[in-house]
Amino acid sequence: MRSEVVKVGVDRVAHRALFKALGVLDEEMNKPFIGIANAYNTIVPGHMTLDKITQAVKEGVLLAGGVPFEFGIPGICDGIAMGHRGMSFSLPSRELIADCIESMVEAHAFDGLVVVASCDKIVPGTLMAMLRLNIPAIAVTGGPMLSEKVKGEKVSIKDAFEAAGLYKAGKLNDEELKLYEDFCAPYCGSCQGLYTANTMQILTETLGLSLPYCSTSPCASSRKLRIAKMSGIRAVELVKEDIKPLDFVNERSFENAITMDMLIGGSTNTVLHLPAIANEAGIRLDLDKFDEISRKTPHIVLLDPASKDTVVDLDESGGVPMIIKKAKDFFSNELTVSGKRLYEIAEKAVLRGRDIIMAERPYRKEGGIAILKGNLAPKGAVVKASAVREDMLKFKGNAKVYDSEELALKAILNREIEEGDVVVIRYMGPKGAPGMPEMLLPTAAIAGIGLQRVALVTDGRFSGATRGPCIGHVSPEAMEGGNIALVENGDKIEIDIPARKINVDLSEEELEERRKKWKVGERKLRGYLARYSKIVTSADRGAVLEN
């Protein structure tokens, strides 16, 4: 076992003494030492019950004959970080999380690893660490938040963000606004809809890195605790059987994850996270792979923000196993951390509630995410096509350009944006912001105010809660001199999602003339973001750090 390096031999007397300081017995020294990376904290709603989930994991480890050691990892709530400088730290925290887990595991020579996490950047960071370390490991994801109702309708955190625009437009009074504030996030768990957090949990299960139903079983449910305990047991079994993530996660596993993303219409942030996770396995996932799979994969599940159904409704429909069962021909039958293959798990899927998986009557013939290219995004841009109205799949409008999210939001709330406009928010990329912040506040304000024919284009990214013609990840980004830096107010921008095109109506000659006059602004960065901005790659490469 790996842990023998810290507990066997005369020269390890001090090491054993330190373990005994923790309460470890002589009889436990020859058992597998399992590290548990726990993202528990009291600032993120999706994390506030991970202590209980981790306790169940520990019980499973002990039950199977292992010795559990818990350590903490960072976790940022994107919703609370939204709309101010804090959002610049969200995506970069993904790399911090992976590095923290790697450091703790290698320093203490754990035999196996369990990662317990929830929410946007935290789950991807833990998966990056699992594949980088490639020791016996399993993921336990925290699960979705339950919903309550306002005015007789089920609401989610998306409705709270949009309530500001509704209030500004005079469509909500003070008392109604307070209801959205009080009931849109009423429980623990990852926010209810198919936003980044829940999408990544579903893709974790699809990759085979967590046990069946782990992704969709609600936060704090007894079923979640049972899955956590079984995961602890399985972690010890993996050590004894010497099964590592890269023994079963391969390129086909990632294609399965992309396929699932397209079937369910998941968050556009997966186009950042899957390549970053695959990179740790030595696998290159290009944007073209996402579009290739999207074009041949139907969209069969419609969840919030595209409908009122939530991830809990998907769980009652049979969860990930039922999707695979109904769309079996789209998946490769890969092995999972459970020791079973995807098809075997899918065969036992059970429908417990309404059937919302429309495999026989797809909502769209193509997947939920589309990759656009053109002179505005030569290396690609991303849109959640499943959340775009049919009449906005093709759109041409006048550019209104802003060099920060704050300026754009102010213009939207001041009613300076009109029907037919394309709001361009730039210098929001991995290097530019830095950290590629999400633009949920501007998109929610547009929706809340009631603007129907307005698009938004950015080299930043969008929350999975975003709906409408919102194109993000524009590459190259403005900070690197991408063409988005050259757009001026009044330029015509044409978006054609079915044709996968995004162009600004300017000749190459005009773009070159503007490029000669373009200068990148000076920034005063310090600390982590200063280091991050120097070594982060572009969005089309997953915003991974240069080796």
Mind telling me the catalytic residues? 463
The neighbouring-strand residues paired with 471 are 383, 457
Give the pairing type, strands 455-458 and 470-475: parallel
Q: Any idea what DSSP says for residue 249?
A: -
Determine if residue 401 is left, alpha or beta; phi over 0 gives left, psi from -120 to 50 gives alpha, anything else beta: beta
CB atoms within 10 A of CB 167: 17
Cβ-contact 100, 209 below 8 angstroms: no
Record the tokens describing residue 300, joined without a space. Answer: 């069969």
Contacts for 545 with CB less than 8 Å, ≥ 6 apart: 95, 532, 535, 536, 537
| Host H or E run for residue 200 | helix 196-207
Buried residues in 329-366 as b, exposed as e (16+ CB within 10 A):
ebbeebbbbbebebeebbeebeeeeeebbebeebebeb
Q: Using CB atoms within 10 A of its CB, is residue 258 exposed (0-12), middle (13-18) or buried (19+)?
A: buried
**Nearest alpha carbon to residue 177 among 197, 162, 198:** 162
Cβ-contact 43, 194 below 8 angstroms: no
Q: Using CB atoms within 10 A of its CB, is residue 222 exposed (0-12), middle (13-18) or buried (19+)?
A: exposed
Cβ-contact 505, 494 below 8 angstroms: yes
User: 3-state SS string over 271-285?
Assistant: HHHHHHHHHHCCCCC
How far are the Cα atoms of 409, 460, 502 from residue 486, in angstroms, in the given order? 21, 16, 15
The neighbouring-strand residues paired with 425 are 402, 458
CA pair distance 34, 134, nearest whole angstrom: 14
Contacts for 547 with CB less than 8 Å, ≥ 6 apart: none
| Host H or E run for residue 270 | helix 270-280
